[in-house]
Structure 1
Amino acid sequence: MNDFSDVYNEYAVPVRRFLLSLTQNEEIAEELTQETLYRAFLHIDSFREESSLYSWLCQIAKNLYLNERKKLAKRQASAATHLLEGVNGEEWTQTLLLREQAMLVHQVLHSLPEPYKEVFTLKVFGELKFKDIANLFGKTESWAKMTFYRAKERIVKGMEEKA
């Protein structure tokens, strides 16, 4: 091939089809195709011809796709953490209901062991103070705060795992 435009002309469509099979999304596949070919252009001198050029391009594409998935999972977990930081009953519930992740949060919450599930539910949905939660369990206020904090951590971790 005389220059990289030949590579682009020959492999853009096959690489895009490969990415479409991974992403199931036209726009993302197109974006990743452009990024794949750009990276290949930058690093064409590192192509060792141990495999076909198409295989090399697909490997670049797959790595970009996996990196995007990781970034998306982190963004979703970050959004969940942000939601959980300003927890205050009704406002928090309304915010969650407006988000796609509401069901996921409830699934993770449902799977929490006791006392995390109950403490979290009492604080967020029951709008109880930590002092009142502590009295219900016959524990200290510090215990209630720590249990609530750990429940939030478990919810975020569970959402990261499901993403």
Structure 2
Amino acid sequence: MAGFEEEFEKIYIRYFNDVFLFLKKLSKDESIAEEITSEAFFKAMGSINHFRGETDIRVWLCQIAKNCYFSHLKKQQRIETMDDMDFPDTQDTIEERIAKQCDAMQIHRLLHHLEEPYKEVFMLRVFGELSFKQIADIFQKTDNWACVTYHRARNKILSQMEDKDEPYM
């Protein structure tokens, strides 16, 4: 597995800027471009075994990034539409749930028991609002490591919250 991670890290380092610039031009928003670039590489890492090499890997990565961006736009449109509807949202993102006082305490309890480095990376990203690059610099790791570690922490928290959500529904 270490060989795969090293190879993917090389892809990440080589093509991150190209994908980021593509998304920056597409979205006209640097912070959205950064977030979606990280998401795109996270998705690409999970589906690299589906890459057949029929196109340039840069094109494949940009296609994933474009799909992530369009999903982001659809989600934003749904949020705006739902906001107009005046009923409570039952499927908030982890970041939205943190904003809610009742969920914040539950998340802090879950974070207290989360193992390192997941706990610190999650807290730096969500509460400290640091970029993946800044988190990577703190840990002296790669941006890809910070992105993957954050998403794993986020998934662990979401999973634990879903297990405990039934009394709240």
Q: Structure 2 length as normaliser, TM-score?
A: 0.47
